[in-house]
Amino acid sequence: MDGGIDDALALILALRSPEIEVAGITAVSGNVPVEQAAINALRVVELLERPDVWVAEGLARPLARDPIRAFNFHGRDGLGDSNLPQPKLRPTAKTALNAMSETLTSAKKHEVTIICTGPLTNLASLLIESPHVKSRIEEIVVMGGAYGITKYGVGNETPVAEFNIYSDPEAAKIVFEAEIRLKTVGLDVTTIPQLELVKRDYARIKKSRGKASMFATRILETNIRAHGRFTLHDPMAVAAKIRPSLYKFSDCRVTVETKGEYTTGMTVADRRDLKEDQLQGRPVMMCSDVDPGFKRFFLDRLN
């Protein structure tokens, strides 16, 4: 995770869902610097009283580019400039790559799912340095990309590129080509208007008064006031693992563009009606639709 508002909401959803076991969290450079992303993860872990879940700092820069930030949207602190107190918990002394490698090495074959709600720098580096862990990964779920399979599948950082992929396209290319089962939840579905939080949803959260709801109220306040809505990119990626019955996926071959003058970071989906061996890119399961019940599910877990 890269420390944004929707990363925090996604982490709350994960930690409050008994269907999955959260082994650990890695912070990565993205919406905010990696140090701030780790602090924001620790805030959620501390809020939900889960000190058993480790948080590890990952890489501070993309593999081959300068970092880009999303301060204008997420605030300087990544959480809507909500001025939350500093957490008492601290990150593990292990690097993110070491913590991930140890967790995977000790797991059974195809036992672990990695859910990525930020740029793919940490995971790509792990796959380069420790390729033996691939056999332990059941699947990778990525919040990222815009594939043009719905009318909403256009970029949010450039006309064709989604923020997480654009932030480190070289890392994304490594992950997409890693020959590990890969599911993507991209802007094609995360930006469907019916699935966004709106003012009446915010009012419901605010009315709840539970500790997770109060935390969510605080970090969402600035965006709801400014825009009247909030897009649940990262919680939607997490929920794809928890409640898969709400999702439809389409098989497609995808290439990540790393060199285009105007298309860097584009996730190019080859939807041509050709034989499989004539298509370009690696096989990906792209999310093509999400049931409206997702938002109700998310709100129920938050309350």
Catalytic residue numbers, as ranges:
233
User: Collapsing DSSP states into helix, strand and coil, what is residue 249?
Assistant: strand
Query: Which residue matches tokens 């999400």?
Result: 290
Q: Are the beta carbons of 48 and 14 closer than 8 angstroms?
A: no
| CA–CA distance, 26 with 191 (Å, rounded to integer) | 25
Q: In whole angstroms, how far apart are CA 170 and each of 123, 162, 280?
A: 12, 14, 17
Rounded Cα–Cα distance for residues 80 and 151 (Å) = 29
Distance between CA atoms of 218 and 178, rounded to whole angstroms? 39
Measure the CA–CA gap between 254 and 263, rounded to whole angstroms: 14
Task: Tell me which residue has tokens 């584009």.
Answer: 266
Question: Which is nearest to 196 in space by CA: 290, 285, 266?
Answer: 290
Amino acid type, 30: G
> What type of residue sits at position 244?
P
Return all residues near 89 (Cβ < 8 A) that are at least 6 apart.
Answer: 42, 45, 46, 51, 55
